[in-house]
Amino acid sequence: MSEQATLSRRTLLKASALAGGGLVLTASIPMVARAATAAAGGPAEATLNAFVSIAPDNTITIVGKNPEIGQGIKTMLPMLIADELDADWNQVRVTQAESDAARFGPQLAGGSFATPMNWMPMRQVGAATRQMMLAAAAQRWGVDAKGLKTELGKVIEVSSGRSATYGELASDAAKLSPPDPATVTLKDPKAFHIIGRAIGGVDSPRVVKGEPIFGVDTQLPGMVYAAFERSHVFGAKLKSANLDAVKAEPGVIDAFVIEGNGNAEQLVDGVAILSNNWWLANKAREKLTIEWDNGPWGDHSSQRYDETARAAMASGKPQEPIVSHGDVDAAFASAAKVLDQEYFYPFLAHVPMEPQNCTALMHDDGAIEFWAPTQNPQAGQGSVAQMLGITPDKVRLHITRMGGGFGRRLTNDFMHQAAAIAQKVPGTPVQLIWSREDDVRSDFYRPAGWHRLRAAIDADGKLTGFDDHFVTFSLPGAGAYNPAAMAPDIFPAKYVPNLRYAQTQMETRVPMGALRAPSSNALAYVMQSFLDEVAVETGKDLPTLLLEMIDGREKEPDERGFMGVSPGFNPDRMRGVITKAMAMANWGKPVADGHALGFGFYFSHMGYFAEVVEASLSDRKQVQVHNVWAAGDVGSHIINPFGALNQVEGSIIDGIGQAMGLAVQIENGGAKQSNFHDYQLPRMPITPKIHTEFVITDNAPTGMGEPALPPVIPALTNALFKLTGKRVRSLPIDTKLFA
Amino acid sequence: MTYRVNINGEVRELDVPEDMPLLWALRNELGMVGTKFGCGKALCGACTVHVDGVAQRSCSLPVGSIGADSKVTTIEALEKTEIGRALQQAWLEEDVMQCGYCQAGQLMNASALLARNPKPSASQIDSAMAGNICRCACYTRIRDAIAVVAEKGTANV
């Protein structure tokens, strides 16, 4: 495993260990009161803890701790604090935290972790701050705090009706010892006045005016821009470059070779070109001639991977087991009917709209400062420090708003590149920007995968055996790589009496990483499509088969957990969303002529989603999606319905887009695709009507960034089977199948 | 060579090569970073500006090709028009955005659409906006927000 992966995984594990109980995490959140500090150009603002400051005019500034990539976290986490604080949302202003584990605890945009990890701790911060307000008022009035209440940013004495605003009390409150957040009393959820309200994004008013707010909008005095040329062949080493020719190009300030450190997640070999205008730096790349040593990787291709994988599946001999129970061979030997099919899904790129970029300034004392659009800032600080040979406290990181993430910015290669360039020009801020071509061709791709699936069905039409030979990738020296792996408890693992998952790994140098709903975005398609085949074979529909499979089953013990925060898989919650989606879509009732419905269910990132797609084919056999019904269970509260619905809708269109047309192919050791002409994202005209409902259950709220995506893909391909009798066993959908 | 370009009502001097795209003159020469870089090939619409009221992709529009009499409008001046303000308000009320990076281009494209066709049909909205990618796929809301302005008009902004 690479160092970067180790570091980021370690951060995640640390985060999850803390989050095992919210109380543990909370204890790590500092509540140190500080003296009143003067805000620049404003009145003295009392800083009550790392998250809350209150000005005399009763403006409450709440720090949003996590990176904002469009998932709405900069709005949602402060809502939790503000509600328990009994603030009026109109008096709240939100600022973005710097990367600082000691002050803010774990800061990460990934894994749909933020909601389960912060639901309790952020509420506790709000409640503890409210308690300080009550104590300050009690002290000022010489009364018992028991006779006081709070309401919309004020403390009120119940008996007399006299009141004081938080702003009037804040400087006194800041002198008090903060209570232990773990011991404070939280609100009865019935009293929530902000949680559950649809609240617009706190940055949106600035975005619609075009104000500088994203990473690539960073402007610093004396800043120069950098373009970076690397090999399109993954793993290639730079032998020589004609730097002098490039330095002679218009506007070029300097050009130099960056020597990689052998870790693609940090720094690859390349040439950096500096200019006062990025376009000039990038244009000068046309004059570059670089001699590369491709090593053994220059002839890798998707075609070769496919041939190798198909041969492995045909051999019937996986390299290693993943999980096995019952007597699989006996189930197949005695089966009345055996299904045996191969499924495939391709590499995918993330392509967030804001191309990768990072601004770095190497200070004279060897410290480095970043303005970085990163989903994983603390890991970036650690690995950059290690690369530069400095201590992490010498790495200051301003987290910028990001133009999308989707998992791409969990890997901080752009930070390491910016650091290596900034190191060459100490004292000068450098903004590294990638072209879209750089982004598409230098990604950490969703791994492609192959599955040979077999199902044994007995004479009574029961699914008695299930066998998956999965062919996936490993990186040299790294073994099984997480985003390309299949966990042993992936549905239907525990719901078929005789079952075996096994795998074969192929070595590759193609960089791989987590794409929104990693693993699930591929496995939902494979498993729910193949189970639909089983359902068809046994004369029933998929939701009926799924409900039969979980009939009478209890909540599973939490043996694997999900990064330590999983409550365990609960068939009741699965049942709840399946029956809800069926009702929403009028499942089983007639649909418009030439239309068909398809079903998909998946559990990922602690969320349960069942989705129904209504599709048809145009006269030209193009896939058209008309409606999608989504039923989700993410627990007891939809904290911000605006953000939650936006995530469901975005996830669904994202999944449909992947199924309809996205693939990265490897040719000559690199990615064939390069920009939006050959990596065609979904656009407005293909957008269906999306109908979302939440099943509210008595479980702690969980995240929304990912779980709505996986089931829409099989729901679409299952609808197309219903419509045409043709089974989509390879993504993206090849409409020639329907000709 | 020096070009004089009218941007948001102000004539700005740009000492740049004639083939420099307007996008990079705006962002790196003038520090006007509201107009966004997305693809560099006029494929995504993130960089949309108006030239004489018509939506154009500034990443593929050479500075040297902009006439001295032409008027360039960027997202920074969107609020100067009634349509622009109405769209900004609708964008906030419908909570359109997720990451927001493409929204400057979406808003500029939508405002050009409504300026030439104040009451577009649903399919006219779809086809007019098809050149603008939203990777977060906020399409249902972009569509709704434009329809709201088309229906309500711009009287209240």
Interacting residues of A546 by C-beta distance below 8 A, sequence separation 6+:
A531, A574, A578, A601
Instruction: Tell me the per-residue pLDDT of A639-659, one tens digit each, with 9 for 90 and over.
Output: 999 999 999 999 999 999 999
Whether residue A149 is found in the same domain as residue A226 = no
Nearest to B98 by CA among A18, A645, A481, A387: A645
More confident residue, A271 or A476: A271
Q: How far apart are CA A651 and CA A656, in angstroms?
A: 9
Q: Is the pLDDT of residue A4 over 50?
A: no
Among the listed residues A339, A27, A386, the one whose alpha carbon sits nearest the alpha carbon of residue A180? A27
Of A276, A653, A685, the CB nearest to B130: A685
The CATH code of the domain that includes A691 is: 3.30.365.10
Give A474 or A2, the one with higher predicted confidence: A474
Contact A204, B25 (CB under 8 A): no
Q: Compute the distance between CA of residue A530 and CA of residue B89 in angstroms, rounded to an integer.
A: 46
pLDDT at B111: 98
Give the model's confidence band at A37: pLDDT under 50 very low, under 70 low, under 90 confident, else very high. very low
Q: What is the DSSP string of A172-227?
A: HHTTSPPPPGGGSPPPPGGG-SSTTS----TTHHHHTTT-S-BGGG---TT-EEEE
Architecture in CATH for domain B78-152: Orthogonal Bundle (1.10)
Closest Cβ opposite residue B138 in set A403, A650, A675:
A650
- A3 in a domain, yes or no? no
Domain boundary among A433, A461, A486: A433
Q: Answer yes or no: do B33 and A353 touch at CB < 8 A.
A: no
CB contact under 8 A, A277 and B43: no
Torsion of CA A344, A347, A353, A357, to 10 degrees: 160
- Maximum distance among all alpha carbons in chain B? 47
Average confidence (pLDDT) over B10-31: 98
Q: Which chain B residues are within 8 Å of A642, Cβ to Cβ?
A: 95
Domains in chain A, number: 3
What does DSSP say about strands A368-372 and A44-47: parallel, antiparallel, or unpaired?
unpaired
Last residue of a domain, which of A409, A433, A457? A433
Q: Does A363 touch chain B (CB under 8 A)?
A: no
Q: Which of A616, A612, A624 is nearest to A693 (CA)?
A: A612
- Note the Cα A672 to chain centre separation in Å: 25
Residue type at B31 in one-letter notation: G
Q: Is residue A438 part of a domain?
A: no
Whole-angstrom CA distances from A289 to A262, A270, B38, B39 are 22, 11, 26, 24
How close A509 gets to chain B, by Cα (Å)?
26
Give me the mean pLDDT over the A566-570 stretch.
76
CA atoms of A280 and A291, how far apart (whole Å)? 23
- CA dihedral defined by A83, A87, A89, A93, rounded to 10 degrees? -110
* Cβ-contact A280, A250 below 8 angstroms: yes
User: For a pLDDT cut of 70, what percent of chain A falls above it?
Assistant: 92
- Kindly list the residues from chain A whose CB atom is less than 8 angstroms away from the CB atom of residue B39: 436, 675-676
Structure tokens at A6: 């180790």
- Regarding whether A379 and A334 lie in a shared domain, the answer is no
What percent of chain B lies above the pLDDT cut of 90?
95
Q: What is the pLDDT of residue B157?
A: 62
Q: Which of A70, A219, A677 sits opposite B33 (nearest CB)?
A: A219
Mean pLDDT to the nearest integer, A280-284: 98
Residue A356 with chain B: CB contacts under 8 Å: none
Closest CA in chain B for residue A516: B136
| Contact across the interface for B101 and A646, Cβ inside 8 Å | no
Domain locations in chain B? 2-77, 78-152
The CA distance from A482 to A461, in Å, is 36
How large is the average pLDDT for residues A250-258?
98
Query: Is residue B1 very low, low, confident or very high in pLDDT (cuts 50, 70, 90)?
Result: confident
Residue B19: exposed, middle, or buried by beta-carbon count in 10 A (0-12, 13-18, 19+)?
Answer: exposed
Position of tokens 């530069």? A388
In the stretch 169-208 of chain A, residues with CB closer than 8 A to chain B read 198, 200-201, 203-205, 207-208
For chain A, positions 512-541, list CB contacts with chain B under 8 A: none
Confidence class of residue A17 from pLDDT cuts 50, 70 and 90? very low
Angle between helices A377-388 and A413-422 (to 10 degrees): 40
Judge whether residue B64 has pLDDT over 90: yes
Tell me which residue of A430, A434, A366 sits closest to A403, measured CA to CA: A434
Question: What residues does A293 pair with on adjacent strands?
Answer: A237
User: How large is the average pLDDT for residues A497-526?
Assistant: 96
Residue with tokens 């009037």: A168
Residue A417 sits in the same domain as residue A322? no
Q: Please name which of A130, A112, A155 lies closest in space to residue A31, comparing C-alpha atoms.
A: A130
What is the per-residue pLDDT across B75-96, written as a single tens digit (0 to 9) for each?
999 999 999 999 999 999 999 9
| Helix A641-661 with B139-152: angle, nearest 10 deg | 120
A405 plus A375 within the same structural domain: yes
CB proximity A249 to B under 8 Å? no
Determine the structural domain holding residue A318 and report its residue range: 302-348+445-738
Q: Which residues of chain B lie closer than 8 angstroms to A203, CB-CB?
A: 100
Residue B78 Cα distances to A206, A209, A390, B55, angstroms: 12, 7, 46, 13
Helical spans, DSSP H, in A451-570? 520-537, 542-549
Shared-domain flag, residues A193 and A312: no
One-letter amino acid of A361: L
CA distance B114 to B147: 10
Band of residue B155 on the pLDDT scale cut at 50, 70, 90: low
Query: Is pLDDT at A498 greater than 60 in this prediction?
Result: yes
The stretch A479-508 carries a mean pLDDT of: 89
Q: Specify the pLDDT at position A479.
A: 64
pLDDT of A560 above 70:
no
Residue type, A196: G
Which residues of chain B have a CB within 8 Å of the CB of A683?
129-133, 139
Kindly report the nearest CA distance between residue B99 and chain A, in angstroms: 3
Residues of A in contact with B41 (CB under 8 A): 436, 675-677
- On the question of pLDDT at A29 being above 60, the answer is no
Strands A44-47 and A52-54: antiparallel
The answer to whether residues A197 and A260 belong to one domain is no
User: Does residue A316 sit in the same domain as residue A373?
Assistant: no
Please indicate, yes or no, if residue A440 is contained in any of the structural domains: no
- pLDDT over 90 for what percent of chain A? 86
Quick one: B2-77 is in which CATH superfamily?
Beta-grasp domain (3.10.20.30)
B135:A681 CB<8 A: yes
If asked whether residues A505 and A614 sit together in one domain, one would say yes
Q: Which of B43, B47, B101 best probes binding to A when mutated, by most A CB atoms within 10 angstroms?
A: B101
Q: What is the DSSP letter of A527?
A: H
A210/B34 CB distance under 8 A: yes
- Residue A442: pLDDT band (50, 70, 90) is very high
Q: Specify whether A137 is located in the same domain as A220.
A: no
Question: Using one digit for the tens of pLDDT, what is the confidence trace for A162-174?
Answer: 999 999 999 999 9
Mean pLDDT of the region A684-704: 96
Whether pLDDT at A60 is above 60 = yes
Tokens of B66: 């902009």
Q: What are phi and psi of A544, to 5 degrees?
A: -65, -45
Q: What is the pLDDT of residue A559?
A: 61
**H helical segments located in chain B:** 22-24, 82-93, 103-116, 122-129, 139-152
Whether B78-152 and B2-77 are alike in CATH topology: the answer is: no
For residue B79, the tally of other CB atoms under 10 A from its CB is 16
CA angle B66, B69, B74 (to 5 degrees): 60
**Which segment of A157-171, A176-190, B122-136 scores lowest on mean pLDDT?**
A176-190
- Region A174-197 average pLDDT: 93
Whether the CB-CB separation of A678 and A672 falls below 8 Å is answered with yes
Q: Residue A15's pLDDT band (boundaries 50, 70, 90)? A: very low
A11 within some domain:
no
The distance of A258 to chain B (nearest Cα, Å) reads 24
* CB < 8 Å to B20, chain A: 277, 279-280
If asked whether residues A456 and A475 sit together in one domain, one would say yes
- pLDDT higher than 60, residue A14: no
Which two structure tokens, joined as six digits, stand for A647? 């995530």
Is residue A674 one of the residues assigned to a domain?
A: yes
pLDDT at A324 over 80: yes
Domain assignment of residue A140, yes or no: yes
B44 with A406: Cβ contact below 8 A: no
Helix, strand, or coil (residue A559): coil
Specify the pLDDT at position A178.
86
Mean pLDDT on A121-125: 94
Residue A421: per-residue pLDDT: 98
Per-residue pLDDT, A567: 64
Mean pLDDT over all residues of chain A? 92
For residue B60, the SS3 value is: helix
Q: How many CB atoms lie within 10 A of CB A384?
A: 26
Inter-chain CB proximity B132 and A684 less than 8 Å:
yes
Distances from the Cα of A415 to the Cα of A356, A513, A702, B42, B107, angstroms: 10, 16, 30, 28, 31
Q: Given an 8 Å threshold on Cβ–Cβ distance, is A279 in contact with B101?
A: no
Q: Are residues A51 and A173 in the same domain?
A: yes
Both A373 and A519 in one domain: the answer is: no
ipTM for the assembly:
0.98
- Looking at A164, A183, A207, the residue that finishes a domain is A207
